[in-house]
Amino acid sequence: MSSCSYTLFASLCLTLLLLLSIQCATASNIGQGYRLISTEKTSDGGLLGHLQVKQKNNVYGADISLLQLYVKQETQNRLRVHITDATKQRWEVPYNLLPREKAPLKKQAIGRLTKNPLKVQEFSGSKLLFSYTADPFSFAVTRKSNGQTLFNSSSSGSNDFGEMVFKDQYLEISTQLPKDASLYGLGENTQPHGIKLYPGDPYTLYTTDASAINLNTDLYGSHPMYLDLRNVDGKAYAHAVLLLNSNGMDVFYRGTSLTYKVIGGVLDFYFFSGPTPLDVVEQYTDLIGRPAPMPYWAFGFHQCRWGYHNLSVVEDVVENYKKAQIPLDVIWNDDDHMDGKKDFTLNPTNYPRDKLVPFLEKIHSIGMKYVVLIDPGIAVNSSYGVHQRGIANDVFIKYEGEPYLAQVWPGAVNFPDFLNPKAVDWWGDEIRRFHELVPVNGLWIDMNEASNFCSGLCKIPRGKKCPTGTGPGWICCLDCKNITKTRWDDPPYKINASGQQVPIGYKTIATSAVHYNGVLEYDAHSLYGFSQTIATHKGLQGIQGKRPFILTRSTYVGSGKYAAHWTGDNQGTWENLKYSISTMLNFGIFGVPMVGSDICGFYPQPTEEICNRWIEVGAFYPFSRDHANYYSPSQELYIWDSVAESARNALGMRYKLLPYLYTLNYEAHISGAPIARPLFFSFPDYTDCYGVSTQFLLGSSLMVSPVLEQGKSEVTALFPPGTWYSMFDMTQAIESEGKYVTLDAPLHVINVHLYQNTILPMQQGGMLSKVARMTPFSLIVTFPAGASNGEAKGTLFLDDDELVEMKLGNGYSTYVHFYASVNHRTVKVWSEVEDGKFASDNGWTIEKITVLGLGGSGHPTNLEIDGEPVTTASKTEISNLAHKYLHNLDDKKTSVMVEVKGLDIPVGKNFAMSWKMGLSL
């Protein structure tokens, strides 16, 4: 829920004026920068230097006279450049929140002075080269393999930006960029131009409760990272840049340069060498933390609504999904289950425990799950035990020595300080108490930017009910006054907060409020949701001893290690449906692969057609959930018969693909690889796909091409070079040289295609993931059209999904490598199994193998399994069908699909199957 759901922050005219004023200010030249006055090698192999300001000025405050520079090649693929005050400790992202190597403490004395410093010096690693110019100081990062400059802060010859600036509340640094660089990232925001960063668009990073309908606005998360993809003579090279800084910032991208303007902290850059997009995300998540393992049921379908007024409504929703034969794994409650919207409580009238617990026992017995919402704001109430225990443990954020007072849904609240170890313990204890009351299966943490319906310093009004209980619940009813007396509340540089340069304390915690150990909200603001996520993860894991499931709205660098994310309050419009794809793909790059948007839109009521098309897309989000606003009519998937049909079709395919999605979850956990990916992740050399924002891949090979426009019954989709097979009719194929193809897409059809050289594990589906998981497997093997020679491969990961850790070697997991080849007439399919006992103990078997794209048209013969001929007396059947090409490069080419069914091959044991094609090739 968002306090801003119904209000766009500014009119179009105001927005345009602000953008113009911001752009006019981007090409700043504040001072003459710094000069490098000393360098020395450190004991850990790094480079340490000192920078002295050349000429002081007072624009945005006084310059910091002496800076410390630290450069280290931390891994073969990662270079760090850290710049801070040489004489005083400055705020940095806490090392206990985001574990990493510590930069050296400030030196008490300047190292060896270089009397005649060279103009350019180099510091070389295995993949990246750091070089600097001493006066004025600038640095560049270069790829060693081809000399490509990845980052260059020199302002020489540039009219776009000036020299580096480092003041207490204003840091500025820029880089030159080639015109043909494609940039992605810098979120969270809703990007109207698609996934690629667009020159001239504002990119402000500061966690804010602003509805996702607001374009080019700082939203719920802060991810100061971008991926840079370039094509040099037909070869792609990708790298990434992270500025690890939690303070508010504006980032100005002009196409040929990029400028950071940050209101505090340090310049802590990490450079990741790639060179492929997948390499970049692997290297990035190696630093920030690998994505969290998710339980199997999390990949099922989820249903939620703000406005399930009582338990009987929830029971009816579950029953209606069953009647409509639409898969459903998880039922959710927004704040409707709470007593007076207070965390960790139950409404005794609408959700009485003596009725809720039996309901949960019933759905748990069939494998369904239950997730509820909690907000960070704790109601100020003398009879509310959660708050009283919080006061007793001194866990709340302070303002002038007293718990800071704000307003959210229950009325007056205090905010826990999750930087305080005592608050983390208290929070975990409250989760334990609540879990004893209600055996929930996961927690949904919302409003954690943190959102506040008021601004400034507030008091509870006397003689007035607050909130009134009528009208919108997000209207401030506390007695408040603005806080502008400190430089933390009114900093000299105004970031483009909320898309209109509002005060940075607007509708959130006052930025002069104080956290544990004197940390200012000004510095830690964008870490609030991240710190709550970590505390929630610790609490859930501690009480359940199971793999936690957490959904968070606010995120920061590293949030994916602990939680899933949904993209917040969207609208049921065609534009928002389209935007959801770009946001989802960005979060995969950010290391948060378990992501999705509210299917059919959070508000207002979607049309029947939009909801049809949205479930066709949302069925393939990594996190798939229908969610609606309190004031919207019901939009569960069974409400419209046509939507129910689309849901059965799209979710039916999702549930067959659950083993593939779960395997992608494992790959994400061990390597950071996104579940949903832009096309350029698999086809980085193919420049036509660099800007594609209306299609996406699941894993490396499964492409979704949805309808995103009203009234359309076909879709024009880009097919990168190779052969693609329809997942809904595997006899249909498209052989592409890298062209757009128009596909039929009537209302209930979603186009999903599988790429060549792939082995895709599937099961038979079902109404619940628990049921679908125990059905027999099938393998889909794809070769290039008409292949007489070729190879394919795939993987399958299986485990006990309740275990906290997702790994091999514990006796409760199995990993299978599948391989296939065709060599002239002989087709082979085989497996190599790691730790097969778990799969064998569960009795999983392969019932069918389908091979697509084989050359010729003859009937397969000489079928063998593990070296033994398959006789006609067995139950195994083998057949073939000719492919139909919607588009192909050679009209004379023929190919067939061969299907072998009636198999009973144990998944947990190595197998080998072969046959010969009847027609010589």
List of residues 6+ apart from 895 with CB closer than 8 A: 733, 785, 786, 787, 852, 853, 854, 855, 856, 882, 883
Distance, in Å, from the CA atom of 234 to the CA atom of 10, rounded to the nearest integer, reads 43
Distance, in Å, from the CA atom of 202 to the CA atom of 217, rounded to the nearest integer, reads 8
Distance, in Å, from the CA atom of 200 to the CA atom of 856, rounded to the nearest integer, reads 54
Local structure of 82: helix, strand or coil: strand
Tokens for 900, please give them: 């072998």
10 Å Cβ neighbour count for 502? 17
Q: Which of 92, 268, 521, 569 is catalytic?
A: 569
Distance, in Å, from the CA atom of 885 to the CA atom of 536, rounded to the nearest integer, reads 51
Local structure of 365: helix, strand or coil: helix
Distance, in Å, from the CA atom of 473 to the CA atom of 471, rounded to the nearest integer, reads 6
Distance, in Å, from the CA atom of 71 to the CA atom of 46, rounded to the nearest integer, reads 6
Distances (CA, A) of 368 to 364, 647, 798, 820: 5, 18, 20, 37
Q: Give Cα 914 distance to the centre of its chain.
A: 41
Q: Nearest-CA neighbor of 351 among 313, 296, 302, 383? A: 313
Local structure of 283: helix, strand or coil: helix
Tokens for 479, please give them: 């007695």
Q: Nearest-CA neighbor of 636 among 313, 312, 298, 213? A: 313
Q: Nearest-CA neighbor of 255 among 316, 334, 176? A: 176
Pairing mode, if any, of strands 676-677 and 696-698?
Answer: antiparallel
Q: Could you write out the DSSP letters of every residue in 333-397?
A: E-GGGSSTT-TT---TTTS-HHHHHHHHHHHHHHT-EEEEEE-SPEE--TT-HHHHHHHHHT-B-
Distance, in Å, from the CA atom of 698 to the CA atom of 620, rounded to the nearest integer, reads 8
Q: What are phi and psi of 885, to 5 degrees?
A: -100, 120
Q: Nearest-CA neighbor of 553 among 587, 576, 524? A: 587
- Please indicate whether residue 446 is annotated as part of the active site: yes
- Please indicate whether residue 616 is annotated as part of the active site: no
Which element (helix H / strand E) includes 416?
A: none
Q: Nearest-CA neighbor of 185 among 275, 253, 83? A: 253
Local structure of 549: helix, strand or coil: coil
Q: DSSP letter at 299?
A: G
Tokens for 342, please give them: 């207070």
Enumerate the H helices of 174-325 as residue ranges: 277-288, 311-324
The single-letter code of the amino acid at 920 is: S
Q: Give Cα 908 distance to the centre of its chain.
A: 32
The single-letter code of the amino acid at 863 is: L
- Please indicate whether residue 63 is annotated as part of the active site: no
Local structure of 185: helix, strand or coil: strand
List of residues 6+ apart from 891 with CB closer than 8 A: none
Edge-to-edge order in the sheet of strand 330-333? 595-596, 564-566, 550-552, 442-445, 369-374, 330-333, 301-303, 624-626, 598-599
184 has which bridge partners? 196, 227
Q: Which of 449, 489, 521, 735 is catalytic?
A: 449
CB-neighbour burial class of residue 158 (10 A; exposed 0-12, middle 13-18, buried 19+): middle
Residue with tokens 């498209």: 734
Local structure of 602: helix, strand or coil: coil
Q: Which of 92, 163, 446, 626 is catalytic?
A: 446
Do the Cβ atoms of 210 and 216 come closer than 8 Å? no
State the SS3 of 462-482: CCCCCCCCCCCCCCCCCEEEC
Q: Give Cα 184 distance to the centre of its chain.
A: 13
Report the catalytic residues: 446, 449, 569
